[in-house]
Structure 1
Amino acid sequence: MGSVKDVLKKYGVYPHQIRKISERLYQVSDGQHVYALKQSRLTKNTVQKWEQIYHQAYALNLPNILPVYLTRQSDLYVKMDDSYYYVTPWIFEYQQSREQAITNGFETIGNIHAKTKQSISIDTDSILGNFRQYRQKNAELQNILLDYVSRFEQNRFMSPFELQVCTHYHVLTRLLPELDDHTVRFMNELESDQKWTYCLCHGHLTLSHFLHHRHTYLINWEQAAYDHAVFDLTTLLHGQVRHYDLSPEQLVELFSAYNRKNPLNTSEKHLLTIYLLDPAHYMSLIDNYVEHPEQQTMIKRTQLLQSAFHQLELGLKWSTLTQYDDIPESESESEA
C-alpha cells in the first residue's frame, strides 16, 4: 500500500480510504473526491502511444473517453517500480438492462469511430492478393473438416468434443460458401472504390469497459490503435455471444445504434461479416485437440468449442439479417 500512497502524492491526493478492487485497480477517497488508481500493463514501448490517445481525445473533443488526471508535473502517468500508474475519476454506475448497456456501448464507440475516422486511397493489389489467399485457404477447409469428422466417426466411442465437431459439421458446410460469397463481394467493392478507412480503435472492447452514469464513458485504452472499425466491432459482438441472453436477431437490431453514429458502407458491412464468419479460431481448437490432446481438460475443450461455434452462428445470422447495398453475383446472373 506504500507504493500506492507514493503514486497518489504525485497527484496531490492524500487518501482517507483506499480499497483494493482487483489486482490492478484501487478505489481512493480523499474525503472530497473518489478516484480510480490503475496499475496499468503499459510498457516503455506502448506508453507513448497511450499518451497520444488522450492528447487526441482532448483535441478532438471526445467526451466518451474518460479523462485521466495530470500529476503535479503535468504528466498523464507515474512510473514506479517498472509499473505505469494513472488516475481517473471513479464512476458510480447506474443499473441498466443488458440491452440498454449494449445500445449505449454501440452509440459510444460509434461516436468515437465517427469523430476519428479517416479515409485514404490505397493500392489494392496487396490487399486483394491477401484475400485471394484467404479464399484459397478457406476452400481447403471443407476437406480438412471432413477428414476430421471421418476420423472421429471411426472411433467406437466418440469423446464429447468429437461428438460436438460432428454435430457442427453441417453448419460449417453452409458457412464456408457464405464466407466466400462475402469475400468476393468485399473484393469487388474494394476494386471499384480503392479506399480504406481507419479510426481510433479501443483494441480490447468489452462491455465491462463501458461505464454509465448520466453519460457513457469508455475506459482502459492501453491497447488502443488506429485501425479499421470492424476489429472493435467483431471483438464486442463476439463477447456478447458468450452470455447467451441475447439472440443474434436482437444484436442486429441493437447494432442500429452504432449505424446512427457511424454508418458502415457496403464494403465495411461485408468485411465485418467476413470477420464474424471466419472459422480460423474454431478450426484451431480442433487442430489443438488432435495434436496436443493432453493440454486441456475435456470440459474446457468442449466449452471453448461451443463458444466458438456460437460465434459462427452469429456470423451466419448476421449475414442473413444485414442489408447490403450490392447484389450477389449469383442473383445478378439469375436475373440476366
Structure 2
Amino acid sequence: MDEIRSILNEYGLQLEYAESVSDKVYKVYTNHGAFALKQLSANRNSRFTDQMIQLEKLGYRSFVPVYRTHSGQFLAGQDSFYYLMPWLHNDKKEERDQKHVHLFKETALMHKRTMKEIKINRTDVEKHYEDTKKKWEEQKLVYEKFVDRAEREWYLSPFELQAVTYFSETIQATDFASERLEQWYEAIKEKETTRLALTHGQISVHHFLYNDVGNGYFTNFEKAEFAPPINDLLLFYTRTFKTYPKTCSECADWYYTYHRNSPLLDEEVNLLLSYMAYPHYLFKVINRYQSEQNQNEKMECTELIKSYWQMKNTEPFVTQIHENEENRKRQEESSSS
C-alpha cells in the first residue's frame, strides 16, 4: 500500500483506498476519483506509449489514455514501474458475440488507420518460406516414423495409441497448411511491397473497455508493434481455439467483421490459414515425448489430447474461410470471362 501511495504522489493524487483487480492491476480511489493503476511487467516494452502517441497522430483515438506524472513521464516508480489510466469497465451488458463484433471492428479500423507498405526483401521472404517448409516436412517425418514404430509393437502405450489415432487427421491438416503456405509464397514473390500495421499484440474483450456512455476503447498496448495485420488475428484465434472441444459458429463472423472494415489481401489470407491450420502444438508434444527420458504418461496423454482438440476446434473456421475464398475466386473468374 505504501508503494501505491508513493506512486500516486507522483501524479499529485492522494490514495484513499486500493482494490486489487488482478495480479498487475489496481483500482485506486483517490481525492480526485477512481483510476486504474497497472504494473508494467519486466519483460514488456517500456516504450509502448510511443505507439499510442503515433496512433493519436494518425487520428485514431479509441484507446484508453495513459496519464503523465508531474515530471512529464508516462511511467512512475523506482524498482517496479506503473502507469495510470482512467477507470473504465468491461462489464457492458452485451451478448458475447456483440462484444467480439465491436472488438474486431475496432481492430480493423486501427489497422486500416496505421497501415503502411514496405519494400519486400526477397531474400528474407525466400528464406522464411524454405525454413518453414523444411521444418514442417521434418516434423511430419518424425511423426510418421513414430507411428510406424508404434504400429509394429504388440502393445501400445496409451500415448502411442492416441498418436496413432490422430495421425491421419494431423497429416491432412499439415498438408492443407503446406498448400496454403505454397500459395502465399507464389503470390508474395511476385510483389514488390508488403503491408504492416500497428498491431495490438493481445486483442481480447478483456483489453477492450467501455466508458459510461458505452463507447469502446483499447487498453494494454504493452505488446503493440508494427507487424503484419494478420498477427493480431492469429494470436486471438490460436488462444480462442486452445480449449476443450467446442463449436464457435460466430468465429468466422468476427473474422468477416474485420475483413469488411479492413480487407486482407489474398496472400495475407493464405498465410493466416496456413499458420492457423498447422498443428504446431501437437507436433511439439510428439517430439517432447520422444526426447524426454522419464515421461509422465498421463500428463503427456493429456497434453496430446489438448493439442488434438485445438486442431479440431480450428478446422471448421479454417475450412469455412478457405471455401469462401475459393467460391469468391470462381465467381470473379466467371464474371470476367
For the aligned pair, the TM-score class normalised by the smaller chain equals 0.7 to 0.9
Find out whether 1:324 has 2:321 as its counterpart.
no
5+ residue gaps in structure 1?
A: none
Deviation of 1:91 after TM superposition, in Å, equals: 1.2
CA distance in 1 between partners of 2:95 and 2:242 (Å): 17
User: Which residue of structure 1 aligns with residue 236 of structure 2?
Assistant: 236
CA distance in 2 between partners of 1:99 and 1:220 (Å): 22
Deviation of 1:244 after TM superposition, in Å, equals: 5.1
User: Which residue of structure 2 aligns with residue 21 of structure 1?
Assistant: 21
TM-score normalised to structure 2 length = 0.86
Deviation of 1:47 after TM superposition, in Å, equals: 1.5
Residue 100 to residue 242, structure 1, CA distance change in 2 (3 Å):
farther
5+ residue gaps in structure 2?
A: none
Superposed, 1:219-234 pairs within 5 Å as 219-234=219-234
Residue 90 of structure 1, aligned match among 87, 92, 102? 87
* Contact in 2 for aligned 1:230/1:268 (Cα 8 Å): yes
User: Which residue of structure 2 aligns with residue 139 of structure 1?
Assistant: 137
Residue 185 of structure 1, aligned match among 158, 183, 186? 183
Deviation of 1:223 after TM superposition, in Å, equals: 1.8
| RMSD of aligned residue pairs (Cα, Å) | 2.7
Residue 18 to residue 157, structure 1, CA distance change in 2 (3 Å):
farther
SS in 1 for 2:77: strand
User: Which residue of structure 2 aligns with residue 102 of structure 1?
Assistant: 100
- AA aligned to 2:10 is K
Superposed, 1:45-124 pairs within 5 Å as 46-48=45-47, 50-80=48-78, 82-92=79-89, 93-124=91-122
* Residue-by-residue CA offset, 1:190-241 (whole Å, 9 max, x unaligned): 1222321111112233442222441222222112211111121111011211
Greater displacement, 154-163 / 182-191: 154-163
* Residue-by-residue CA offset, 1:24-73 (whole Å, 9 max, x unaligned): 21111125521111111146x9323x131121132223222211111112
User: Which residue of structure 2 aligns with residue 312 of structure 1?
Assistant: 311
User: Which residue of structure 2 aligns with residue 176 of structure 1?
Assistant: 174
Deviation of 1:297 after TM superposition, in Å, equals: 6.9
User: Which residue of structure 1 aligns with residue 268 of structure 2?
Assistant: 268
User: Which residue of structure 1 aligns with residue 255 of structure 2?
Assistant: 255
* Residue-by-residue CA offset, 1:222-273 (whole Å, 9 max, x unaligned): 1221111112111101121135586354311221111122110101100101
Deviation of 1:321 after TM superposition, in Å, equals: 1.4
* Contact in 2 for aligned 1:124/1:190 (Cα 8 Å): no
Q: How many residues get paired? A: 325
Superposed, 1:194-209 pairs within 5 Å as 194-209=192-207
Deviation of 1:7 after TM superposition, in Å, equals: 0.1
User: Which residue of structure 2 aligns with residue 280 of structure 1?
Assistant: 280
TM-score normalised to structure 1 length = 0.86
Residue 225 to residue 42, structure 1, CA distance change in 2 (3 Å):
farther
